[in-house]
Amino acid sequence: MLDAIDKNLLKAVAGLDGIPKGAFNIRKNGKLLSRAVSENINIEPNEDGTGIVVTVKPGVINESVHIPVILNQAGLHDVVYNTFIIGEGADVTIVAGCGIHCSGSRPEGHEGIHEFRVGKNATIRYQEKHVATGEGKGKRSLNPTTKVYLDENAVVEMELTQIGGVDEAKRVNEAELGPGSSLFVTERILTEGHQIAISENNIILKGHHSKTNLVSRSVIKENSKQDFYANVEARAKSFGHIECDAIIMGNGMNETVPALRALHPDAELTHEASIGKIANDQLIKLMSLGLTYDEAVDRIIRGFLK
């Protein structure tokens, strides 16, 4: 059964108002809470019982899978290994995410290790949201790892979002791109208080005409800290771009390290990186349209993380 806190968390991480339609797997406090499979999408435990295997049949289009994880048990550190096998030509949306509610003083955490094997000509949109709520002082940590293998002409769009609440996050994204495949990653992170978030991205452009665009938007408030590392390595005629922007508010600290490695003469790799306060001309423009200073800051940050 879902209680009120569970429902709030589910809504926040997966946009769900209750039990979703179609295939889903809801994990609560390290155990299966509820699961449904569909004709085209199967979900079953993996061999060693440490997670699930989601299999999407070839050619399935316009279907979605929800696999949220919720935690509200003090002292629990949940680790899960999930594998996604996407059949040739499929086109699906996968909504993952983790919601932690912490009402006590003991730490709670989740590590989701997700591996995607995306078949030829298949497309997936992967959304992962991290939310932490509750008044408790217990440390909330989330350490997600995603490994993505793209077969020929596969397309993967990943949206990774964490807006406040999480004390410690260490994210690792790894990807290997086959010929003609594309990977688009957008990461949005807001930290506040004494939160720490680290994001490490290693993308290898293996196949000819593969391409990637990695966008990171960070807002670092109060005394929080965020580090962003992005490595794009091109081993074929390919295209890669990294765009990372960090807005610092208060005493936030940031380290941004984009790295490009071309191991093929026809590789085209570019990056843009910026760290700084909210630009003054943006604030003045919005205030000249009648917003107060605080409203202007809010609009700029909301747009930036949108």
User: How many binding residues for another protein (CB under 8 A)?
Assistant: 22
DSSP one-letter code for 201: E
Task: Identify the sign of the CA torsion 285, 291, 295, 298.
Answer: negative
Looking at the Cβ atoms of 2 and 163, the one nearer to another protein is 163
Question: What residues numbered 31-60 form the site for another protein, per CB under 8 A?
Answer: none
Backbone dihedral region of 19: left (phi > 0), alpha (psi from -120 to 50 degrees) or beta? beta
> Residue 126: in which H helix or E strand, if any?
strand 123-133
Assess 304 for contact with another protein (CB under 8 A): yes
Beta-bridge mates of residue 201: 173, 230
End-to-end CA distance of the chain: 33
Could you give the C-alpha distances from 81 to 47, 54, 144, 146, in angstroms and in order? Answer: 11, 11, 10, 10
Out of 44, 45, 285, 298, name the contact with another protein by CB under 8 A: 285
Assess 27 for contact with another protein (CB under 8 A): no
Assess 303 for contact with another protein (CB under 8 A): yes
Question: What residues numbered 72-101 form the site for another protein, per CB under 8 A?
Answer: none
* Residues 204 and 177 sit within 8 Å (Cβ to Cβ): yes
Looking at the Cβ atoms of 124 and 296, the one nearer to another protein is 296
Looking at the Cβ atoms of 169 and 247, the one nearer to another protein is 247
Joined tokens for residue 31: 């155990």
298 phi/psi in degrees, rounded to 5: -60, -45
Assess 193 for contact with another protein (CB under 8 A): no
Binding mask 204-223 for another protein (x = CB under 8 A): -------------x------
Taking the complex as a whole, the smallest distance from the CB of residue 10 to another protein amounts, in Å, to 27
Taking the complex as a whole, the smallest distance from the CB of residue 217 to another protein amounts, in Å, to 7
One-letter identity of residue 178: G
Taking the complex as a whole, the smallest distance from the CB of residue 121 to another protein amounts, in Å, to 30
Question: What residues numbered 225-284 form the site for another protein, per CB under 8 A?
Answer: 245, 279, 281-282, 284
Sites of contact with another protein (CB under 8 A): 217, 245, 279, 281-282, 284-293, 299-300, 302-306
